[in-house]
Amino acid sequence: MSVFLGEILAHPALASADPVVHPPGAHTYAQPVRWVHSSEVLDIAPLLRGGELLLCGGITLASATPEKREEYVRALAQRGIAALAIETGGALPEIPAAMLEKAREYGLPVVELRKVVPFVGVMQAINSILVSESVGHLQQADAATRAMAAELAHGASLDKILGVLAGITGSAVRLTSPWGVAMGSAAPESWEGDGGRPDDEAVAGGQGGDPGAAGRVAISVDIPVRGVLMGRLEVQVKQGADTALAHVAGERAVDILGLALLQHTPPGLHALAGAELMRAVLTSAPAWRLEQLAPGAGFPAESPAVVAAIHAASPQELRGAVETFLNSSRIPSAAYQDDAELVVMIGLPADDTVGARRKLLESLQGLEGDQDATVALGPVAGRVAEAAWSLAEARRALEIRQVRRRNASPRRRHPDHGRVVVDAEDTAVESLALTAIDASAREAFVTRQLRAVLEHDAQRQSQLLETLQVWLDSGCNTAQSARELHLERQSMHHRLQRIFELCGGDPRGTGRLASLHLAVRMAGLA
């Protein structure tokens, strides 16, 4: 059976911490836990897999801004951790009410540890139990895959193969196409439902383990065949049943179900060519290889294309929306998914490349699917052979955005709400600086151009560099800059006057304008 949060909190190693759960309730205590981890790092979410009980001493949280605490909660909730346990007292007398409210909004259970306990001892005690449980799950999952392989060898139908998995996990299972068309389903004899078809509302919860309409938990596992997404396994587990076993068994069944799909519905040549083309793009294969593969995937070798890098908690959901949109618009495309990154190459018309790319940016913002995804669209590759460069620029745009957010002042570091679409053409200057100029040369250039401004900010805790950046990015529009910085126009004029004095005069109408702008943007990469 799975190990639930309630059991862990009742274990002597944690019970002595006098834990209080926010919000209280049976559902919170029934939350399955995959692992116990401890960290004070507020940017820990990308390093987690989901299902963890995260222990936090509260020291970093005590000095963090409200915006940073909210971002911390949001990122952990999106990662799908089981719960966040925070030690109170000392540096953090209590968990901030605003933080608890955000956790409730995002559906993240928070445990307040009101007494000090050694986190190392907690992890050793609980994780040893979890390891024993995992071994048992692996043994059961391997038994399921052996039985499924035997059925496959005897030519059984998809329903019969799925029936083996349903019987061992005690769950209803369904195999669908990437677009949701049912290809097979099964349920154990004791299942009380709709004949083995998992509830659509429950399945929508995905891997996050959200409860479905009938008090059930849905798990979704992608089934690739030769690099092509051919199906999706949906497992519906009754509330209180062994969700961990269903997770492990579903993941272990991927290869067998892939072979079954290959036998019953083999992928077409077009799909295989698209997957091979994307692998070539991802590995920066030689130009001749890309040109050789492109026609089979529906891309004329000389046609322009653009590559998007998409990071999402549930990339498979967004992939379906992207591919449906592109197919309905008859736009050539090929996609490849690797963990939390989805890479999509999209063909553009030669007669209106710029306009088509602009419309594509707008469409990516409005697509259905994971609204917390971050999408970066690379620059136009003049031909398919340059697709790897477009992808590299898209990924670099994501990195530059992260650096910008980290270096931004607290008042301008707003948490993301909704899907973020990043245009790599907006970060072309930073990309050039990172790839063509070494760090020491960048630093020397920034110092020569902005030394007086940087020293002024350091000595007087002013924001002249930020003001200069906003003003230059706005095209030297003083009124717009004042609005963005929440300043009165007179205050904005005073700041600009001081900046001009430090920089040797008003740069407008001189060659210094371009060099100042370049220096400001390079300073943001530090």
Distance CA 334, CA 327 (A): 10
Question: Is 37 inside any structural domain?
Answer: yes
Shared domain check, 150 and 105 = no
Give domain status of residue 417, yes or no. yes
- pLDDT tens digits, 18-59: 999 988 765 677 788 888 999 998 989 888 888 899 999 999
- Dihedral angle of Cα 162, 171, 185, 274, to the nearest 10 degrees: -70
> 78-92, 150-164, 397-411: lowest mean pLDDT where?
397-411
Distance of CA 195 to the CA centre of its chain: 34
In a domain, 395, yes or no: yes
Same-domain check for residues 413 and 447: no
CATH classification at residue 56: 3.40.1390.20
What would the pLDDT profile of 299-330 be if each residue is shown by its tens digit? Answer: 887 889 999 998 877 676 777 788 888 888 88
Does the predicted TM-score (pTM) go above 0.85? no
Amino acid 419: pLDDT? 75
Reading across the β-sheet that carries 216-225, which strands appear in turn?
A: 182-186, 172-176, 228-238, 216-225
Q: How confident is the model at residue 199, as a pLDDT?
A: 47
Residues 322 and 307 in one domain: yes
Four-point Cα dihedral 202, 205, 211, 212, nearest 10 = -10
Q: Of the ranges 267-271, 277-281, 462-466, which one carries the lowest mean pLDDT score?
A: 267-271
A 10 A CB-CB count for 148 gives 26
- Is residue 300 included in any domain, yes or no? yes
**Do residues 483 and 497 both lie within one domain?**
yes
Domain final residue, candidates 406, 426, 446: 426
pLDDT over 80 at 359, yes or no: yes
> What range does the domain containing 76 cover?
5-117
Residue 516 in domain: yes
219: pLDDT strictly greater than 80: yes
Span 346-365, average pLDDT: 90
Taking the C-alpha atoms of residue 30 and residue 33, their distance in angstroms, rounded to an integer, is 9
E strand or H helix that includes residue 216? strand 216-225
**Is residue 489 located within the same domain as residue 351?**
no
**Domain-located, residue 22:** yes
**129 lies in some domain:** no
Answer yes or no: is pLDDT of 220 > 70. Answer: yes
Residue 368 pLDDT exceeds 80: no
Order across the sheet with 20-22: list the strands. Answer: 20-22, 110-113, 83-87, 52-56, 35-38
Q: pLDDT confidence of 273, banded at 50, 70, 90?
A: confident
Same domain? For 388 and 449 the reply is: no
**Where does a domain end: 264, 284, 317?**
264
Whether the CB-CB separation of 495 and 482 falls below 8 Å is answered with no
Count of domains for the chain: 4
Question: What angle is formed at CA 424 by the lines to CA 423 and CA 426, rounded to 5 degrees?
Answer: 75
Q: What is the pLDDT of residues 82-137, one digit of tens each?
A: 999 999 988 899 999 999 999 999 889 999 999 999 999 999 999 888 888 788 88
- For residues 413 and 400, what is the distance between their CA atoms, to the nearest angstrom? 14
CATH number of the domain encompassing residue 516: 1.10.10.2840
Last residue of a domain, one of 51, 83, 117: 117
